[in-house]
Structure 1
Amino acid sequence: MVTFFEASLDLVSVHHVGNQTQGEMYALSDHPLALKDEVISSLLMQYFLKPFEKANEVYHLMHSSNNLELNEIYHFATDMFNNKENFQKSAQDIARHLYNVSTHPNIKGGELYVVYFNKVQIEGDLLDAIGIFKSENKETYLKVYPDDGGFAVDYEQEAININKLDKGVLIFNIEKENGYKVAVVDKTTGGQDAAVYWKDEFLQLKIRNDSFNQTSNVLGIYKNFVTEKLDDEFDMSKADKIDLLNRSMKYFKEKETFDIDEFADEVISNPQAIESFKNFKNQYEDEFDTKIGDTFEISDNAVKKQARVYKRVLKLDKNFHIYIHGDKDLIEKGFDDGKAMNYYKVYFKEEA
């Protein structure tokens, strides 16, 4: 999704932003960072941009009033794109804005980096981009070096691991009228309440409703429907539920286009359950104000991502886990009166 083979750092501004509810302050730099050599630039590029290579979702900046100018990050990014001479002032304003929304007690203070990049690629376009990154978690590193015919060991505390970006956003100079193209990294810490401040309060994002998002949404909705809703209307075993999840994943892996009627007939089959699923999908659309088409192109990347969270494991007490990958008719459930316990009977041709 995002590549940076041709990218370069243009300007970097560093600030410190604390948590105001903890009595912490913010500290602003007066001028951009002076990069002393190419090694520092290369390390910063890896730290800032490498996490975005796996970022498939594309967002837009938004505001609840539908007036984009009221979104602070949109305003500051536009100011920098229009006139790079305003970069440092706008970077300071971004730090102040982050401080103003850092009100949850579990939000960690840390360094804030605002960066102007040249030639970062997203979806085939080489573009200027504004990067905003925050480092919250620090680590201790050992250093081993030659000393007097042997070696000595030292350490450095409160150091940053360049392979672990905590929070970041790239705002690309394209589709300005829609709130720009935006990619996000958010390694949440401090619980869910503390986590929402980055995407929801600081950036104010809405996800772009493309094939990746629609594929992810349908798979997520169907998974919740099977695991949470079906029990209200049908008497189903866990093996039957896993079979329904396997069939849905098979559909998405084999098809190029999703069609809700075809999906319902091939995967769900039961007319009453089909109607229940479509109602469940409509409720999701209303609740989250997100329209999901009845037909759309299936995103392979979204299928791969969702496949990692689809449960295919039948857990039996603490003794056994049964992985169900195929025909559920090869597993039977029963009850043993003598032992007063449930059991599963599994049919197979040979041991692997």
Structure 2
Amino acid sequence: MVSSYEASLEELSVHRIGNKAQNEFYNLSDQPLEITDEMLGRLLMQYFLIPFEKENEVYRFMHSSSDLNLNELFHFSSHIFADESRFHELSGQITKHLFDISNHPKIKSGELYIARFKDLQLEGQLVDAIGIFKSETKEPFLKINSAQGGFDLSYEEQGINIHKLDKGCLIFNSDKSEGYKVMVIDQTNRNDAAYWKDEFLKLRIRNDNFNKTSNTLNVCKDFFSNKIEEDFDISKADKIDLLNKSLKYFKEKDSFDIDEFAEDVIGNEKAIKSFKNFAQDYNNEFDAGLEGSFDISTAAVKKQARVFKSILKLDKNFHIYIHGNKELIEKGFDEDKSMNFYKVYFKEEQ
């Protein structure tokens, strides 16, 4: 989580970038933007930084060769942190790099803002940072001005909504040897947008307790929602019960231990073996850092709890929310109606 209470925007360069696949080009500005309007400065800080205040994931720069200097953004950032006088020059190099990898025909053109911040707070420390932000979505908005005898109404067709940052990243001058600390925003949620994090920035997740907790909860969700029914005959109510038990374990425990979790939540030896194999395969594929025990992150549990579904959907007629004891719900089959049914026990209505 980022705090900008003590932060200041030291320098800002703005460039225009098109889609290379659409035969568009880029346009570099000659010098950094001079911001003399105090209100404009505050609005830019809000536009750039507010979206990161609710983010918890921290990434690192990486390269497939393991040589960080071959990662373009790591290279450019290192030079900016070492010599601030090269900021605007290197902001142009960053723009050219983004243009070179913008090869998907659906990537939108837009403005690229590259900023230098002082005293952003991350994980309790004040750190200088570089921000890279791209605005792709334009919206019309109305403007009302006072006029003699009333008001004038006009509009702007290509306005930028400062509450909707399309893409952004913050690169913190911390942990250089490990690939810096990097945070990312990408609001487009399209497959073609993977270029921002994977191709432009080239990031890997940092294996801290937040990400280990998130990854392990993802493993639990995938296993109990999908994988377990491949190996075992299990009802949907039982699958929901296992999901609820998983979430309960993470909410009540301070640390995660896979053996303790397996005994407390699963219990069945064959299912435990299947779960551990599934977790190991996930860890090998994604380098998720799931070996051994780790302290559970309450922030990660709170975030992941939103996607743990405890809803039993019955045709299009009923939804049953299962939050507690699965022994209070029974499944059966009615011969006369040739239909399945559930019997639910309760003490009182609310």
Same fold (TM over 0.5): yes
Question: Over aligned residue pairs, what C-alpha RMSD do you find?
Answer: 1.0
Cα distance in structure 1, aligned partners of 2:148 and 2:332 = 74
Counterpart of 1:209 in 2: which secondary structure? coil
Contact 2:215 2:288 in 1 (8 A): no
Which residue of the partner structure matches residue 72 of structure 1? 72
2:296 corresponds to 1:298: yes
Counterpart of 2:307 in 1: which secondary structure? coil
| Amino acid corresponding to residue 279 of structure 2 in structure 1 | K
Contact 2:245 2:265 in 1 (8 A): yes
Which residue of the partner structure matches residue 149 of structure 2? 149
Cα distance in structure 2, aligned partners of 1:74 and 1:166 = 22
Give the deviation of 1:166 after TM superposition.
Answer: 0.8
| Amino acid corresponding to residue 11 of structure 2 in structure 1 | L
* 1:210-229 matches, cutoff 5 A: 210-229=208-227
Which residue of the partner structure matches residue 166 of structure 1? 166
Q: Which moved more, 1:139-148 or 1:174-183?
A: 139-148
Which residue of the partner structure matches residue 262 of structure 1? 260
Which residue of the partner structure matches residue 251 of structure 1? 249
- For each residue in 1:32-76, what CA deviation from the matched residue of structure 2 results, as whole angstroms up to 9, or x when unmatched? 001121101000000000111111011111111111111111111
Which residue of the partner structure matches residue 18 of structure 1? 18
* 1:236-247 matches, cutoff 5 A: 236-247=234-245
Cα distance in structure 2, aligned partners of 1:290 and 1:348 = 42
Which residue of the partner structure matches residue 49 of structure 1? 49
- For each residue in 1:266-325, what CA deviation from the matched residue of structure 2 results, as whole angstroms up to 9, or x when unmatched? 001111000000000111111123331231000001001110000111111111111110
| Amino acid corresponding to residue 21 of structure 1 in structure 2 | A
Percent sequence identity over matched residues?
A: 60
- From 190, 199, 202, give the equivalent of 1:201: 199
Cα distance in structure 1, aligned partners of 2:27 and 2:151 = 39
Cα distance in structure 2, aligned partners of 1:229 and 1:75 = 42
| Amino acid corresponding to residue 234 of structure 1 in structure 2 | F
- For each residue in 1:139-189, what CA deviation from the matched residue of structure 2 results, as whole angstroms up to 9, or x when unmatched? 111122333322332211111110111111111111111111111111124
Q: Which moved more, 1:68-77 or 1:142-151?
A: 142-151
Cα distance in structure 2, aligned partners of 1:235 and 1:153 = 66
Runs (5+) with no aligned partner, structure 1: none
Which residue of the partner structure matches residue 339 of structure 1? 337
Counterpart of 1:146 in 2: which secondary structure? strand
| Amino acid corresponding to residue 344 of structure 1 in structure 2 | Y
Number of residue equivalences: 350
| Amino acid corresponding to residue 140 of structure 1 in structure 2 | P
Cα distance in structure 1, aligned partners of 2:200 and 2:174 = 21
Runs (5+) with no aligned partner, structure 2: none
| Amino acid corresponding to residue 317 of structure 2 in structure 1 | N
Q: Evaluate the alpha carbon distance shift between residue 273 and residue 92 of structure 1 in structure 2; reply closer, same or farther with a 3 A threshold.
A: same
Give the deviation of 1:84 after TM superposition.
Answer: 1.0
Cα distance in structure 2, aligned partners of 1:349 and 1:256 = 33
User: Normalising by the residue count of structure 2, what TM-score does the alignment of the two structures yield?
Assistant: 0.98
2:307 corresponds to 1:309: yes
Cα distance in structure 2, aligned partners of 1:245 and 1:146 = 59
Cα distance in structure 1, aligned partners of 2:49 and 2:131 = 9
User: Normalising by the residue count of structure 1, what TM-score does the alignment of the two structures yield?
Assistant: 0.98
